[in-house]
Amino acid sequence: MSWAALAWGGIDWTIFLVAVPVLLVSLVVHELAHGFVADLLGDDTARIAGRLSLNPLRHLDPFGSLVLLLTLVGSQGHFAFGWARPVPVDPSHFRSPRHGMMLVAAAGPGSNLGLALLAALAVRVAAPVSDVIAGVALLVFVMNLILALINVLPVPPLDGSRIVGGLLPRSAYGCWQGLDRYQMPLLLGLLAVVYLFPGVLSAYLEPVLRQATRLLLPPEFWLV
């Protein structure tokens, strides 16, 4: 499942008009990756449901999208939270449900990392030619890195919880999976921490973003 939780210093309506479609497309790609990997592993549930599609209407959750817009505008750009409609997956079709779900889960943030790498290449190509194109590519780069970092947190129902579950010994998997029954309180607790203490999120995200820009982007685009 793809979740977005982003933080900015203040709203810039030009950036806002670009950021919202970038974020929505990134969420769609994230969900499509889940379904595609599940299909490769033998679960055709997403394909039968028509979810192996780039059509955003097949993936967007109306309420999740509305929450995204309301939190972004309501907080004057300091915070945004939203989600896409989860792709249906039946782990009983996998040879190993535990490891199958781990791979399906990892595909979501993995797709965002792939988009970030493509965006980094676009920044390098566009920088000498167009500041506008390079700026949009930089936004795609940063937002997809943030999406990947948020979704690998080991908190149900985020993808990180499935990834951790696949790495745990079989004897511990049942206990870990049992946390799913508390996924909404856990998620709301995480949301409350992010909203009330944005410095916690920044302390997690900023060092990775800073290092990633230094590694992949020209110096003029480094985050300091």
Model pLDDT for residues 19-71, shown as the tens digit of each residue: 778 888 898 899 999 999 999 999 999 999 999 998 888 887 887 777 776 76
CA 108 to each of CA 2, 38, 128, 166: distance values in angstroms, whole numbers, following the listed order: 7, 11, 32, 15
pTM, two decimal places: 0.88
Q: How far apart are CA 206 and CA 204, in angstroms?
A: 6
pLDDT of residue 157: 87
Share of the chain above pLDDT 90, in %: 54
Answer for the pair 10, 58: CB distance below 8 angstroms, yes or no.
no
Q: How far apart are CA 165 and CA 157, in angstroms?
A: 12
Give the active site residue among 31, 39, 43, 61.
Answer: 31
Q: Mean pLDDT lowest for which of 61-70, 80-89, 113-122, 182-191?
A: 61-70
Could you state, in order of their start, the residue ranges of all structural domains in the chain? 3-151+186-221
Q: Is 206 a residue of the active site?
A: no
